Structure 1
Amino acid sequence: MQAQGRVRQTDLDSGRVEKGRKVGEWTYYALTGSGRKVLVQRYDYDRKRLLYFRKPDEHPYRHEVAGSWQSGYLERPPLYIGGDGALSTYMRQLQYPEQARSKNVQGRVVVRFVIDTLGTASNYQVLTGIGSGCDEEALRVARSIPHEWIPGRKDGRAVPVEYELPFTFRITQAQK
């Protein structure tokens, strides 16, 4: 039996789409600093299963084990389905607040949230803010990201993990 649906392929992803939904196995790529294309994820949408991921640089994450929050290394950090490329699609929806633009406020806002064992994000809060409407805008965008997270894993089990997402507010010449 032949699979139905159309194949979608871009420079950074490929897979089948049926009735507007991704189905079957998808591959996701990213570009390195030198411009080389590398595989970052393979995900099976039918089985809702991560088949492969390129391990990111290791650093400790705050995670919950047996009701207690601790900091440490994970077997697998939380991942967004499609990788950073897919996540950046939503982050580009950031709109510079007029109040910040008129005051020439620039900088980085870090939003922290928890990704639970089912891949759902919640408990959004500004960890580092710059004010003038930027903190609220970063929260708005973070909350608008679809819940397509793959939970972090520790000792073979999914665990809730605190995830930090940075948003940069920089006024360019075109915005002045």
Structure 2
Amino acid sequence: PPPPPTPPPTPNIAWTPPEEEEKNKALPKDDDENPNDSSSDRSAPLPGPPPNPRPKSPPNSPAARDRWARLRLSLTEALHHESLELELVNARLTFEQTKSDAVRCARLQKSLRRDVERLMVDNARMAREEIESKRRAETIRGERDALRTVIHKLLGENAELAGRLDDIRAQRDGARRERRRRMALTESGEV
């Protein structure tokens, strides 16, 4: 079917609602206004809906469809542009976050390296102390074994001396008994 006929263009006449007309009647006329007053703007638009510069096409006309297609295309392009800008901002934020994480990781790596170096120094010192401790333990064991040998030798000598002391005491006791016996015989006149 052929498109409906285009309505004639609307004349460019400002429409004033009745309330505005009542207000305009109460206002002073232009002749009463001060001509030197720069605050009055004679070129101000009349109140009411804005003038229609060109007639609108019917909703289903090719011009309206073309206008809607252009509007959709411009909106799609604007949304695409906005989406690209958001992606760019997101990428920049991700980059800044990654850069910040990299700096933090580098600092952490330096700190961990210092800790590892300190632990390696401590480990080497503890290994040296362990070797020195083993050396001391070997020396102490040698001295202990030597002392045990000396103690066994002294115990043997002590036992030998104790045996000799017992022999000397037995000889002394025997000599005392013999002397008593002789004294007893001398006193009795038998000798």
TM-score interval for Structure 1 and Structure 2 normalised by the shorter chain: under 0.3
Give the alignment's TM-score, normalised by structure 1. 0.16
Q: Which has the larger radius of gyration?
A: 2
Q: Which has the higher strand share?
A: 1
Give the alignment's TM-score, normalised by structure 2. 0.15
